[in-house]
Amino acid sequence: MTLENAAGCRILVVEDETLIALEIEAVLEALECVIVGPVSTLDGALRLVRDAAPDAAILDVTVRGGKSYPVAEQLLARGVPFVLSSGYGDWALPDTLRSQPRLNKPFTTAELEERVRFLCGEVAKRKRTLASNRPSPS
């Protein structure tokens, strides 16, 4: 994926550790993504999913207020791609989320960039599919 494909991609950041949130923001800014958040609480994340309509998301699994599973479920229902960020293995995830892309903590900047490019690529594919399924004007 080229840098241009990441530019303008609206990514929700759900992370309750300030230093990690800052690292994610720095990578997103370098890739010219639009940062939605960051937010550190479950309630805040649910509000942004509802009100900000992100293209994609990076979800810390455990945030203030609980697990980010309800956020992930809403994103799945809307077809919005996301990665789960956690230091725990798959065993800690509900069955419905075990197949989702992961960003294992601690992660490197290169791993984060790779995941962001993946997300933005998925967003681009989704937009192309939606555009090709629209009826053409008569």
Q: Can you tell me the distance from the alpha carbon of 75 to that of 69, in angstroms, rounded to the nearest whole number?
A: 10
The CATH code of the domain at 3-133 is: 3.40.50.2300
Q: Can you tell me the distance from the alpha carbon of 58 to that of 117, in angstroms, rounded to the nearest whole number?
A: 12
* pLDDT confidence band for 129 (50 / 70 / 90): confident
Beta bridge mates, 12: 36, 57
Answer yes or no: pTM beyond 0.85: yes
| pLDDT digit string, tens, across residues 98-121 | 999 999 999 999 999 999 999 999
Q: Return the domain boundaries, the chain.
A: 3-133
Q: Quick one: pLDDT at residue 124?
A: 92
* pLDDT confidence band for 2 (50 / 70 / 90): very low
